[in-house]
Chain A
């Protein structure tokens, strides 16, 4: 008897190696042909705080975190109460606990989960250079039937540089753990991998966003570190340099966004990445990008807000500031990736759109995608690259007009280095010539133009992901898409029909396309991870939703789980 999905947590204080154990489990599973998802939960501390690695593995692509945990391996119970709510358990769950670390906390024991004692610290201590996380990893690997060769390859890759001693210590730890698990008989052997011959990737959302930037043609990044976006910047630093671009560390977010605007004014596609507080600081300059028609891409990896909020945990609550945060009437692009892998496509698309429409694009990722890692089928190639409409015939008699009022609203751009195109790009309202103007007619004309270039653009099919059929539909976006998609597919497997519409293009809105996608729908369920139902209100402001509408909205850091969406949907069927 095997299972089709297994969900595991490693918990312990920061520095115990829980993230390493989770990462190695995912990598080993990938090696033997399983799909997987690893997400992380930690406090703000770098060392000594609470930490947990959540891993879900399956022979099928993993769309979302598991409904509950099958196994929790606790290296210690330090501060576990801080994220106990993120550890759903039931009587079928198993808690592997080290008696030397004290009792299983009541908040977890109350679930009725089976407890298995394993002297992890003692077992690791008996091995020269042994570490608890390797013992835990060995036990879990054995319990789910992960072939040993998969782990050995991971250890070799991770520790090969540290020498024979480290390798031997890890291998011994894994052996000891596996031996302990032999008698557990948990019934959690994962079904055999189904290699389909397709190439697979092991990638995080933040890496995918960085790669999307490169593939879109970005050559400049100005960076200011902020959790949970920093990995995008750290990934881009070497990889931009290797591909002929450049990254500079800025003094703050006011500088990172305006450096990007400066580079983009020079014709160089530019990106920065930040989180909520940084986005707040950037909003004035994003407005400058709108007014001066200077393309730029900002990836906002959302976290719990407002203010410093919960920097290490996910939420979708920057929707409002991304859409409405600019002063004045300031049409711009807002897009949201629908999965870890889609961080690649959506960021690449955003670069293309920003350049084509000469305006800023905000990519709303979040911590749940950015800092999670997934084993996925290699993403398909997308044709989107940066291509700015450049001015031609600048040597003619007519004086170049930077903000020419064209039918499409997009004005051919002259960039420094092009003789005859000299002008001053301006955040002051201006005439077509770019000269400042406070005249009503010029303001009207430029407002119309800046709106028209977005409203009139054909965004094609990429505006949303639509699947399923039936009279009940989930409308969602961003990282809520994963659990919503899994819910719809589970219902389909039960022979019950539901649709999924995951909106990738948040702004500008696409009312005709959504109406088409929801044709025949009588009940709509909006799913999002906010306290204030921001997405629902956004939909209400811009779309006519058919039939009756209900909302599943919850703030972070608790992830939305497929089971919850499935049950809510089922109640509507």
Chain B
């Protein structure tokens, strides 16, 4: 459970969690709204900025740490979840949030996503999915449709099936899985609050359009719809239901009961006592 939730009457405002750095995103980028949702969620929870760490890899959405006023680590491409896992395991007193995109999380970082889900460290991963590599100017990502032909790198289309992040998260054992849409930052904020409060590893898949390289994603606002089911704590039930979902259902799919991972540790020996084991 998060230890930095405080109940205050006159709590912090979302802008308290924004740094004075101006985001470098394109006009119309969905990530602006996600950032608004993030800072709103932080304010709602009253997170202490100095006890909150936000971690990211590389990509448009991975720029977020510098746009917040918390502690942040903008690491290397694909490794955000590993950096964050190490941080949370070594410093369980901190609130740890991880931000990134579909390429960072599911391609170069795919192995870490798989293991973060099964390891179930108590932290929250907000993955902004725009089905494209934006920062390198428009290549197919692991969530891009197989017949998307707008990239110079794959002019005939990537030709491989996209990953379904929510299904993948459930299959790998994530303890809390939800989907939001950047067009509804209040809902994104609500999902983040629920994810942070929920013990264990929480995955929040946020559809966040790239209007520069995927202008057709402007149409997502008419595709999304409420998921329409109550959250379950049964991963099997969640998976069965998600298989029926069209990829645009918004809400909480799973709020599971797995215990968060934390290696056992207790200072019971001095180093001098350990050294005695080497004595002849």
Contacts and interface: CB of A to CB of B under 8 A. Distances in A.
B266 interface: yes
Contacts of B55: 262
A259 B85 contact: yes
A261 B90 contact: no
B280 A425 contact: no
A266 B76 contact: no
A407 B280 CA distance: 48
B86 interface: yes
A241 B265 contact: yes
Contacts of B79: 254-255, 258, 285
A315 B112 CA distance: 32
B274 A30 contact: no
Interface stretch (A197-205, A518-526, A534-542): A197-205
Nearest to B112: A255
A420 interface: yes
B91 A263 contact: yes
Interface stretch (A80-88, A214-222, A443-451): A214-222
Contacts of B267: 242-244
Nearest to B72: A424
B280 A426 contact: no
Interface string A421-433: 1111111100000
Interface string A234-254: 000001111111111011101
B50 A265 contact: no
Contact of B87 (A215, A265, A420, A422): A265
B269 interface: yes
Contacts, number: 188
Given A200-B280, A288-B75, A427-B74, A262 B50 contact: no
B103 interface: no
Interface in B47-87: 48-55, 65-66, 68-76, 78-79, 82-87
A270 interface: yes
Nearest to B273: A242
A228 to B, nearest CB: 20
Contacts of A425: 72-74
A465 to B, nearest CB: 22
B279 interface: yes
A63 to B, nearest CB: 18
Contacts of B274: 211, 214, 239, 242-243
A202 B86 CA distance: 33
A263 B72 CA distance: 13
B76 A284 contact: yes
A428 B74 CA distance: 8
Contacts of A424: 54, 65-66, 68, 71-74
A375 interface: yes
Contacts of B264: 241
B90 A220 contact: yes
Contact of B71 (A239, A241, A423, A426): A423
B111 interface: yes
Given A247-B263, A250-B82, A251-B115, A267 B21 contact: no
Chain A contact patch, size range: 35 or more
A260 interface: yes
Interface stretch (A70-78, A106-114, A411-419, A478-486): A411-419
A426 B51 CA distance: 18
Nearest to A424: B72
A456 B31 CA distance: 44
A174 interface: no
Contacts of A288: 75-76
A420 B50 contact: yes
B83 A243 contact: no
Contacts of B91: 263, 266-268, 416-417
Nearest to B269: A242
A207 interface: yes
B69 A422 contact: yes
A435 interface: yes
A248 B82 contact: no
B29 to A, nearest CB: 18
Interface string A260-279: 11111111101000000000
Contact of B76 (A31, A211, A417, A427): A427
Contacts of A419: 48-50
B76 A285 contact: yes
B278 A422 contact: no
Interface in A280-333: 284-285, 287-288, 292
Nearest to A222: B86
A31 B280 CA distance: 6
B89 A248 contact: yes
Given A241-B265, A246-B90, A435-B66, A251 B112 contact: yes
Interface string B31-48: 000000000000000001
A288 B65 CA distance: 16
Contacts of B111: 251-252, 254-255
Nearest to A201: B278
A327 to B, nearest CB: 11
Contacts of B112: 251, 254-255
A264 B55 CA distance: 13
Given A260-B86, A266-B86, 5 more contacts: A259-B86, A262-B88, A263-B87, A416-B53, A417-B94
5 contacts: A242-B274, A250-B82, A251-B112, A424-B54, A424-B73
- Give me the 4 closest cross-chain CB pairs, A-B, nearest first: A259-B86, A262-B86, A424-B72, A263-B90
